[in-house]
Amino acid sequence: MSGREEEETTTAIETHGLTKRYGSHTAVDDLSLSVAEGEIYGFLGPNGAGKSTTIDLLMDYARPTDGTISVLEMRPRADVVDVHQRVGILPDGFTVYENRTGRDHLRLVIDTKRADDDPEGLLERVGLADAIDDDAGSYSRGMCQRLGLAMALVGDPDLLVLDEPFSGLDPHGIRTIREVAHEENDRGATVFFSSHVLGQVELVCDRIGILHEGQLVAEGTLEELRASAPVATDLDLVVDGDAERARRVAAAVDGVVGASVPSAANAATSSESGLVGTADGQTVSVRLESADRQEAVLEAVENSGVSIRRTDVTEPSIESLFVAHTDEPAIESAGER
Ligand SMILES: Nc1ncnc2c1ncn2[C@@H]1O[C@H](COP(=O)(O)OP(=O)(O)OP(=O)(O)O)[C@@H](O)[C@H]1O
């Protein structure tokens, strides 16, 4: 490690050049990932991007073809027992033992981890206490997910890994996952979850990494991703004074793909370029290549002597970011795979 900052940050997950090939297919491709202790990190990507494979490598369920992995500053292969002791995992497609109760499932993990959790308390946290003595074979898919989450919480893990946790859940279940993620994070745990359900992400994550074909194609806070994504962003400026001058100045700024002063005639309708007009004639509508061009436009307009009374930005949605980075359609609702 070189810089002072690096020395001060403890990582919960760190990979360098991580690669996993299955025959000629590369599932994880030279992945370098760093998740700081105490973060809630969203690992996003379309189906087949390599999310579950990465998690399998972190947990030593699979062995890398190349690269290094550190989990809670341990090596998953050499320190597998300690890693499993300190990590709580809800695996993708978690399945239950049909003839065992919820309580039995929890007992199994509590015994394995030599923890002293109360099964009832854990199931209460995930809203499943009423079914604690029912065979898990009678549980719905959402109830199984809740049970899997409770099992992941055993022993107060330092790192909680949730692989597609929203899968099969109704809105209440989704809220439970979010609440538990925040509670665990407040307790000090790092939370790492994978998802292709984008709507949930901004409500939970501090930072997001987008995986596509085994590679990390974008990473940052949602704000950072929005600012840098190559997704057109519409900026409306309400100006005092010469709106046409403001339009000309804005249009000349690097990264501006269109600027107009919508007239009353086309108010509130989309022009050919997709710009939306307003009725007062003092609004200048500007389309930016990406959101990070805003400052340059505001500065140029103000420097031209036209004062800006108000701005209104239509930020790119998280779905459009996802599409921009992966060329894959985004799945917006939970409960689908
Ligand atoms: N054991 C395996 N043998 C061969 N190929 C595999 C194996 N496991 C995964 N793959 C392939 O590796 C790629 C990545 O799969 P992975 O399950 O990691 O993706 P994912 O991002 O988790 O997708 P999903 O959201 O569908 O679970 C896929 O093309 C998959 O078919």
- Does 331 fall in a domain? no
My answer on whether 18 and 69 are in the same domain is yes
What tokens appear for 125 in the block?
């946290």
The pTM of the full predicted model, rounded to 2 decimals, is 0.79
- Does 321 fall in a domain? no
My answer on whether 254 and 214 are in the same domain is no
Total domains present in the chain: 2
The single-letter DSSP state of residue 48 is T
> Which is higher by pLDDT, 239 or 314?
239
- Does 320 fall in a domain? no
Per-residue pLDDT at 280 = 52
Domain finish residue from 209, 227, 245: 227
Per-residue pLDDT at 248 = 95
pLDDT at 188 over 80: yes
pLDDT at 108 over 60: yes
- Does 126 fall in a domain? yes
- For the chain, what is the mean pLDDT? 86
Domain finish residue from 161, 194, 227: 227
Pocket test for ligand 1, best of 52, 198, 331 (most atoms within 8 A of CB): 52
Distance between CA atoms of residues 178 and 296, nearest Å = 37
- Does 337 fall in a domain? no
Return the residue whose CA atom lies nearest to atom 28 of ligand 1. 48
Nearest 5°: CA angle at 208, between 205 and 213? 140
Per-residue pLDDT at 268 = 43
pLDDT band at 93 (very low <50, low <70, confident <90, very high): confident
My answer on whether 120 and 223 are in the same domain is yes
- Does 334 fall in a domain? no
Per-residue pLDDT at 265 = 45
Distance between CA atoms of residues 304 and 253, nearest Å = 12
Distance between CA atoms of residues 197 and 332, nearest Å = 6
My answer on whether 196 and 245 are in the same domain is no
My answer on whether 157 and 286 are in the same domain is no
My answer on whether 196 and 236 are in the same domain is no
My answer on whether 145 and 257 are in the same domain is no
The amino acid occupying position 167 is S
31-35 mean pLDDT: 95
Non-local CB neighbours of 131 within 8 Å, separated by 6+ positions: 102, 123, 138, 139, 143
Pocket test for ligand 1, best of 53, 194, 337 (most atoms within 8 A of CB): 53
Per-residue pLDDT at 329 = 60
Distance between CA atoms of residues 12 and 38, nearest Å = 8
- Does 326 fall in a domain? no
Give the nearest ligand 1 atom to 53 CA: 18
- Does 77 fall in a domain? yes
Domain of 16? 4-227
My answer on whether 194 and 290 are in the same domain is no
Q: How far, CA to CA in Å, does 283 sit from each of 8, 97, 275?
A: 48, 63, 11
Residue with tokens 């309708």: 269
Within 13 Å and on the Cβ side, how many CA atoms surround 325? 28
My answer on whether 223 and 239 are in the same domain is no
Contact between 86 and 160 (Cβ < 8 Å): no
Contact between 313 and 140 (Cβ < 8 Å): no
88-92 mean pLDDT: 95
Q: Which residues line ligand 1 (CB under 6 A)?
A: 22, 25, 27, 45, 47-53, 92, 196
- pLDDT above 90 covers what percent of the chain? 64
My answer on whether 220 and 240 are in the same domain is no
My answer on whether 156 and 296 are in the same domain is no
Q: CATH no. for residue 186?
A: 3.40.50.300
